[in-house]
Each structure stands twice: as structure tokens, then as C-alpha cells.
Amino acid sequence: MSPFTANATDAVTSLGELRLIAAIRRWLGRASPPSPAGIGDDCALLPPSRHPQLVTVDPVVHGEHFDDSIPPRAVAAKLLKRNLSDIAAMGGHPRAAVIALALAPDVSLRWLEQFYRGLAATARAYNTPVVGGDITRQRDGFAATLTLIGEAHGPRALTRRGARTGDRIYVTGSLGGSILGHHHRFTPRLAEGAWLAGRPEVRSLMDLSDGLAKDLHALTPDGATPSLSAAAIPVAAAARKLAARDGRPALEHALGDGEDFELLFTVAARADHTAFESAWRRRFRTRLTCIGRFTRTLGPGALPLDAFHGYEHLR
């Protein structure tokens, strides 16, 4: 379904600002609390926070993050979930979202209704009230920008810094081929992130959005290099499917496709890894794989990661 319409009565401009805002509040329903906690005042008002606050912002842009093949509900779900994945990547939980839309005059009201209903459903599922927003015209296209405010579960939020040489590298789920559906059907790893933030042996955490080959640089400590075992990389079935189509190795898809929205983290070298992995398996059914460790130099037989490329934005 296209976000744009040739039918003037279905165009967003047919409604006028006040009626459009009223419609949006109806579409959001219970996902949007009344002001001053939600939409309707100059700012949304949130209670004070006990623990460190988290802030992240990510958009979905037509032609960039989705196309006409993706249902509008799924577009909105992807928008909220990619921000939730960033909150998961610090070990926090979501508190509130605000959403700003920039849309061409020919954006379809039918499409927009489904978009907001999808946002509402996902917001309710993840306990994330939509507390504010803005709608603005632009000449062409559709862009929705969501800012998510979260909070750590305790005094500690896990960052990308903290790994040391010798630490083991872990990844959740399986990687690659997300374009076949995972890029909007994924589940943000909120419970897993929160659990990891409570484990002292976990030293750093991030989510995978641009592909392991590119993202892992952010966790790599100075003077170290990731020595990964190619055989250990959890290659998704979708990556193999894509590989069969385009003749590129499935591993290349796993390392470079991006939009995996899985967690990548490191565990201290001295930790009891068996106990750690057992504790994980008692708590989660989510797949967990140790893919290697940080070493001073590339280990013998280790995957030459620099030969692979992640997703390049603004190409």
C-alpha cells in the first residue's frame, strides 16, 4: 500500500489541521494519555525519574526504511521498535515516545490511519505511551521521527564502552537477510537487555543495526581486535535464502545486511561462562551465541572482519 494517493478526498490536506489532530488522537486511543501527561499542552509532563534517563531518536522515511510493500501498521511498528531496540541496548525500559511527521500534501488518510493504529498497538504492547507529537507539511515524501525516553532499571545503564582484551563476544538471535521480513517483524530485546544490565560480568552492550562487521568496531577496545569464528556466526535462514538467490555467501549477508536488531555484548574473560550461559537459558528461549573474543592480534583462523562491510547510510 502506498502512503500517497491521487484521490483528493483521501489526501491529508482534505481534513484540515484541527480535524486531523482530532483523528490522530482517536486513532492513538488509549496509547496516548490525556494532557498534561500526553498530547494537548506545550510539553508532555512525565513524573521525576529515580534512575538514569535514556534518550534516543530514529526515523522511518519512505523509500529509505520502507516501501509500498510494507503495510502501514508494520511501518509504525518498525519505527517504535527500532527505538525500543536502542533502549534495550542500554539495558533500560521505555517511558514515553513523541512522534513528528513531515508529510507531502498527497499522503493518504487511509494509510495514515493504519499507521497510527499500528503505532498505538505497538505502543500498548510495549507499555510506551505516545505523549506528544507534531505534524508538518513538506513538499514530497513521508518521514516520521520518533524520540523515545527510557530509564535504566537500576543505577547502571550498559554502554558500548567497557570491553577489555580477552573478553568474550556474544550475540543474540541469528543474523542477516532481514530485508525478507525481519527488519519490521523483529522483537526488541528489552527483557534480555535489562537482564544483562544486572549481570556484573557483562561489560558492554549495543544493538545490531548496521550489521555485525560494521557495528562490532564500536565495542572493540583500543589495542584489541575481534577474533571471531566464522563457523560460530549464527546465520539466519533468511540470509541463506538470499544467498541462494544472489550467489553471495550467506555469511556475507549475516555480517553486512543490517537491521538485525539483535544484542551484541561482551562478558569479562575471567567470568564463569558456563554459569552465565546456563543462567541465560533458564531465563530466555532467545538464542545466545559466543562468536569469539577480543585479542591483541587476529587469532589464527579467525574471520577477517575488515573484508566485510556493513550497511552504509547516505550512500
Q: For binding to a copy of itself (CB under 8 A), which residues are involved?
A: 12-13, 15-17, 20, 35-36, 40-59, 61-65, 85-87, 89-90, 92, 96, 98-100, 102, 131-141, 143, 145, 147, 149-150, 157, 159-161, 206-207, 312-315
Nearer to a copy of itself, 227 or 266 (CB): 266
DSSP structure string for 248-294: S-HHHHHHHS-----EEEEE-TTS-HHHHHHHHHHH--S-EEEEEEE
Radius of gyration of the chain (CA): 21
Q: Which three cell numbers stand for residue 199?
A: 549481570
Nearer to a copy of itself, 209 or 227 (CB): 209
Nearer to a copy of itself, 72 or 133 (CB): 133
Quick one: which of 139, 133, 238 has its CA closest to 184? 238
Shortest separation between residue 274's beta carbon and a copy of itself, angstroms: 28
136 exposure class (CB count in 10 Å sphere: 0-12, 13-18, 19+): exposed
What count of other Cβ atoms lies within 10 Å of the Cβ of residue 307? Answer: 9
Shortest separation between residue 19's beta carbon and a copy of itself, angstroms: 10
Shortest separation between residue 74's beta carbon and a copy of itself, angstroms: 18
Q: Measured in whole angstroms, how far is the alpha carbon of residue 109 from the centre of its chain?
A: 27
Quick one: which of 169, 149, 155 has its CA closest to 47? 149
Shortest separation between residue 239's beta carbon and a copy of itself, angstroms: 23
Nearer to a copy of itself, 284 or 311 (CB): 311
Shortest separation between residue 275's beta carbon and a copy of itself, angstroms: 27
Bridge partners (DSSP) of residue 288 are: 172
Shortest separation between residue 284's beta carbon and a copy of itself, angstroms: 20
Shortest separation between residue 291's beta carbon and a copy of itself, angstroms: 19
Nearer to a copy of itself, 43 or 275 (CB): 43
Hey, which bits of 153-260 come out as E strands? 168-172, 202-207, 225-228
Q: What one-letter code names the amino acid at 16?
A: G
Nearer to a copy of itself, 29 or 63 (CB): 63
Nearer to a copy of itself, 205 or 243 (CB): 205
Q: Is the dihedral of CA 20, 23, 29, 35 positive or negative?
A: positive
Bridge partners (DSSP) of residue 290 are: 170
